[in-house]
């Protein structure tokens, strides 16, 4: 009996070690501050879901405060100039702005979005592809203890080189959940984010408080695989700084309607769920040479 207890303890340690290597999935919901009714539904989800608040939205301060009180990580969703012509938020950053103007806008955003610990770009394909423009952003951001989450609205974003020489850490989005607001498309993108997290060790997905996005999250978050852990971007960054997985180059956001990014090549064998895999490990180590060796030790 004593030998069995010792063996169980050893195997339990092995299983905990396997759990430590679960895939990490970070989900950020953008555009907070305009639709409190839908946004409040997001705040009822697990606290690891993070929210990005538009600094000049009518309910910006209110929703940032509610999110923080509910345990969610808060980001500033800072408007940046896109390449396309479309209506812009107040104080949208442009590459032509002076360092002083960008610093002023950032100060105002920090004041309007309390409890923020990071910043990501709202739109911004023109701004983020400008190295001089992003250098001014990173220099202004350097005085705050914020990370920058690049929404990757364009493939040649300059956020990483722009942050060189500053203390700003950069993370990158892997999946957009709701480029299409069709509910089946949102489900597919959610499943894609999960697969990327399983394959690469982590993934960051960005969505918006659209009704179908909220509905998909409500349905699918409780069914996450056992080998996936929900985390905030800040938690991902902390793990990376302490020896976690290195960032993986993201795929650019589709630039034309109806475009579907290429999927990951499927292997011939079916993936094994974590729970089943751990069961196989248990059976193997309790009935094989390893088990005999451990029994001999005790």
| Least trusted range by pLDDT, from 47-56, 216-225, 249-258 | 249-258
Mean of pLDDT values over 161-174: 98
- CA dihedral sign, ordered 75, 81, 84, 85: positive
pLDDT at 54 over 50: yes
Closest CA to 225 of 248, 195, 200: 195
Mean of pLDDT values over 187-211: 98
- Higher-confidence position of 227 and 5: 227
At 28, give phi and psi (nearest 5°): -120, 130
Q: Which domains does the chain have, with CATH numbers?
A: 23-253+269-287 (3.20.20.370)
Residue 79 CA, distance from chain mean position? 19
Cα–Cα distance, 260 to 189 (Å, whole number): 11
At residue 288, the pLDDT reads 40
At residue 21, the pLDDT reads 62
Residues 6+ apart with CB under 8 A from 163: 138, 148, 169, 170
DSSP conformational letter for 93: B
| Least trusted range by pLDDT, from 15-29, 74-88, 110-124 | 15-29
Cα–Cα distance, 168 to 143 (Å, whole number): 9
Cα–Cα distance, 88 to 79 (Å, whole number): 8
Range among 16-25, 149-158, 263-272 with highest mean pLDDT value: 149-158
pLDDT digits (tens, 9 = 90+) for 235-263: 999 887 665 544 444 344 443 333 333 33
27 phi-psi bin (left φ>0, alpha ψ -120 to 50, beta other):
beta
166 pLDDT band, cuts 50/70/90, is: very high
At 178, give phi and psi (nearest 5°): -135, 45
What is the number of H-type helices and E-type strands within the chain?
12, 9
């Amino acid at each position: 009996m004593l030998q069995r207890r010792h063996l169980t303890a050893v195997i339990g340690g092995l299983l905990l070690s396997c759990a430590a290597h679960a895939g990490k999935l970070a989900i950020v919901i953008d555009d907070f501050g305009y639709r409190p009714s839908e946004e409040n539904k997001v705040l009822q989800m697990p606290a690891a879901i993070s929210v990005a608040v538009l600094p000049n939205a009518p309910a910006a301060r209110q929703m940032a405060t509610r999110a923080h009180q509910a345990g969610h990580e808060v980001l500033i969703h800072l408007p940046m100039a896109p390449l396309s012509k479309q209506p812009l938020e107040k104080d949208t950053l442009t590459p032509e702005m002076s360092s002083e103007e960008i610093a002023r806008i950032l100060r105002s955003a920090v004041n309007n979005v309390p409890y923020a610990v990071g910043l990501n770009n709202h739109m911004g394909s023109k701004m983020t592809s400008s190295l001089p423009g992003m250098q001014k952003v990173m220099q202004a951001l350097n005085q705050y203890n914020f990370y920058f989450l690049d929404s990757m609205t364009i493939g040649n974003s300059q956020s990483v080189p722009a942050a060189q020489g500053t203390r700003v850490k950069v993370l990158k989005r892997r999946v957009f959940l709701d480029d299409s607001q069709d509910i089946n498309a949102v489900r597919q993108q959610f499943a894609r984010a999960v697969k990327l997290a399983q394959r690469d060790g982590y993934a960051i997905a960005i969505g918006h408080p659209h009704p179908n996005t909220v509905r998909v999250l409500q349905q699918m978050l409780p069914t996450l695989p056992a080998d996936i852990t929900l985390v905030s971007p800040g938690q991902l960054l902390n793990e990376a700084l302490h020896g976690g997985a290195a960032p993986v180059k993201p795929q650019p956001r589709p630039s034309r309607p109806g475009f579907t990014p290429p999927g990951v090549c499927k292997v011939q064998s079916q993936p094994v769920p974590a729970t089943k895999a751990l069961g196989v490990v248990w059976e193997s180590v309790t009935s094989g040479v390893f088990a005999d060796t451990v029994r001999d030790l005790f």
